[in-house]
Amino acid sequence: MSRSGKTNKYEWGQLASKRSKRCNKDDDDANEINVDVSEFLKTIMGGGMGNQLEGSKNFAGFGNIYEETITKDRNHVYFWDQVTPENALKFSRLLREADEEQQVKMAKNEITEAVVYMHLNTPGGHLHEGFSMASVVEACRSKTVAIVEGMVASAGTLPLVCADERHMQKYSSVLIHQLRGGLWGTFENNEDEIKNQRQAMSTLRKIYRTHTNMPGKELDRILKRELELSADRCISWGIVHKLI
């Protein structure tokens, strides 16, 4: 994705690139697979699931067949997708909606505490959209509880660490690393972009230092690597607060 016609937008998801190689198929292959599966299920189930699958490309792309990967159920927001502009916008809208609903219930004395839960499983994606999601989490008036379900990586860790409480499933993991970008244009363009990237990295470090207790040297070391952090390590560094 280009950025101002000069450089690639910061792609911050090592796992996303791996998944895209596995998931992205051309439309003809996707349609062929889905028609075959749909017809098979219709045959053995008399419709039902087959009808839901028909015409859908989610199956070929390993998406959620039955529900969207970004959705809300009462005060629970589920984000099981990559961090892209479209997905970040949907997440922000759903989170604000859940927050507002909780505030209304508090005003009516229907609940004693306003809480919004965020269920996260994401390979990451665009850095600036991750910053935006983190800002929306911090702006919530309700208490925010983030739950790591499986893997939260890259830009997806930003809304995670900005939550008031962070929980994690025992066999889940977290991956943080430095941004990726590309340069193209005049010499002055490239110099400006390097400054922009340094500023983005400074913001990144600031968020982790503010919301976790990762030692500075360890943070710098981890940002340079592609290491998945275990639940125990995430607890010890304050990335999450408890296991569930």
Report how many helices (DSSP H) and strands (DSSP E) the chain contains, helices first: 9, 12
Q: For residue 25, what pLDDT is reported? A: 43
Q: What share of the chain is helix, strand, coil (3-state, %, to 5)?
A: 50, 20, 30
Angle 216-178-68 from CA coordinates, rounded to 5°: 120
Report the alpha-carbon distance of residue 22 to residue 61 in Å, rounded.
8
Q: What is the pLDDT of residue 6?
A: 42
- CB contact at 8 A, 58 and 33: no
**Where does residue 97 fall: left (phi above 0), alpha (psi -120 to 50 degrees), or beta otherwise?**
alpha
Residues of the chain with pLDDT under 50: 1-8, 14-66
Residue 34: per-residue pLDDT: 44
pLDDT digits (tens, 9 = 90+) for 15-29: 434 444 444 444 444
Q: Decide: 100 and 92 in contact? Cβ < 8 Å.
A: no
Domains of the chain from N-terminus onward: 13-63 (no CATH), 67-243 (3.90.226.10)
